Amino acid sequence: MEGQTISIKGLNGKLLVTLGPGRWDAAVQLLYDQIEDRGEFFRGAVLVLQVGDHTLDSEDIRKLQARLAAHDVKLSTLLGTSPETIRSARRMELETRLEDDSLAQQEAPARELPPIDVNQYGSEGVLVKATLRSGRVVQHGGHVVVIGDVNPGSQIIAGGDVIVWGRLRGSVTAGASGDADAVVCALDLRPAQLRIAGLVALAADDGKPRPKPEIAFIRQGQIVADDWMSVNR
């Protein structure tokens, strides 16, 4: 799979998957490998697939739909620059453009994110100014900052830190690429599941209010949470 790339992002309750250039069989196999390796993440997902300049006919799309359906993944939208691909997708009754006008996202080429030093000033990050509702997935190779709540059933996966300016009730992964120095911060930190690097913690919700913001991080081989303002790391 050398030279192949894939990008996966949350998009209005769906997953936007962007495949890179090269041979179609190699590009789509990378998608299949991701689905097989991360079955729970993809199960029940609705897929928006950006294939770029790959040219697909109706049979290619039919095979793609069948392979995805075998893993409980539905293909709803097929984006691309090839007229033949678009015609074939419409014959298969698929959407061929995003519902809104955010076409910049569908035109962006897939790329491999470079390794990120989370201690370096100006590290790459994404800002989400919205409440993440159930089914929403935000995935980014750097830091993720959410101004809003993260509701149960939603998910954040970040290569760096995760900061939530609100209530964190969904599942969150920081340091997804193995960065044990990553942290998770929230004004109300009660996630359904919290991962940092290779460690997992299930938050116990005792029903008591948490008036102070908290930060979760790895200390002596386990995930701990403390007062956001008092921790000196």
The more confidently predicted of residues 158 and 121 is 158
Q: Look up residue 33 and give its two tokens.
A: 């490998």
Distances (CA, A) of 95 to 36, 48, 49, 137: 25, 9, 10, 21
pLDDT, residue 109, reads 44
Among 70-74, 103-107, 137-141, 207-211, which is the least confidently predicted range? 103-107
pLDDT, residue 198, reads 85
pLDDT, residue 107, reads 44
**Of all residues in the chain, what percent carry a pLDDT higher than 90?**
56
Read off the DSSP letter of residue 95: B
The more confidently predicted of residues 212 and 176 is 176
| Local confidence band at 211 (pLDDT 50, 70, 90 cut-offs) | low
144 and 158 Cβ atoms separated by less than 8 Å: yes
The 3-state DSSP class for residue 96 equals: coil
Task: Could you list the beta-strand ranges (E) of the chain.
Answer: 6-11, 14-19, 46-50, 74-79, 125-128, 137-140, 143-146, 155-158, 162-168, 171-174, 184-189, 193-196, 199-201, 214-219, 222-227
Among 41-50, 155-164, 188-197, 209-218, which is the least confidently predicted range? 209-218
Q: Is the pLDDT of residue 108 over 50?
A: no
Total number of residues shown for the chain? 233
pTM to 2 decimal places = 0.48
Q: Is the pLDDT of residue 122 over 60?
A: no
- Tens of pLDDT, residue by residue over 18-61, are 998 888 998 899 899 889 888 888 889 999 999 999 999 999 99
Q: List, by residue range, all CATH 2.160.20.70 domains of the chain.
A: 125-227
pLDDT, residue 68, reads 94
| Local confidence band at 3 (pLDDT 50, 70, 90 cut-offs) | low
Q: List, by residue range, all CATH 3.30.70.260 domains of the chain.
A: 6-107
| Local confidence band at 4 (pLDDT 50, 70, 90 cut-offs) | low
Q: Is the dihedral of CA 190, 192, 195, 201 positive or negative?
A: positive
The fold of 6-107 is Alpha-Beta Plaits (3.30.70)
Q: Is the pLDDT of residue 8 over 80?
A: yes
The 3-state DSSP class for residue 126 equals: strand
Distance of CA 181 to the CA centre of its chain: 20
125-227 is classed CATH 2.160.20.70? yes
**Of all residues in the chain, what percent carry a pLDDT higher than 70?**
82
- Tens of pLDDT, residue by residue over 74-106, are 999 999 999 999 999 999 999 998 865 444 444
Q: Look up residue 153 and give its two tokens.
A: 């059933």
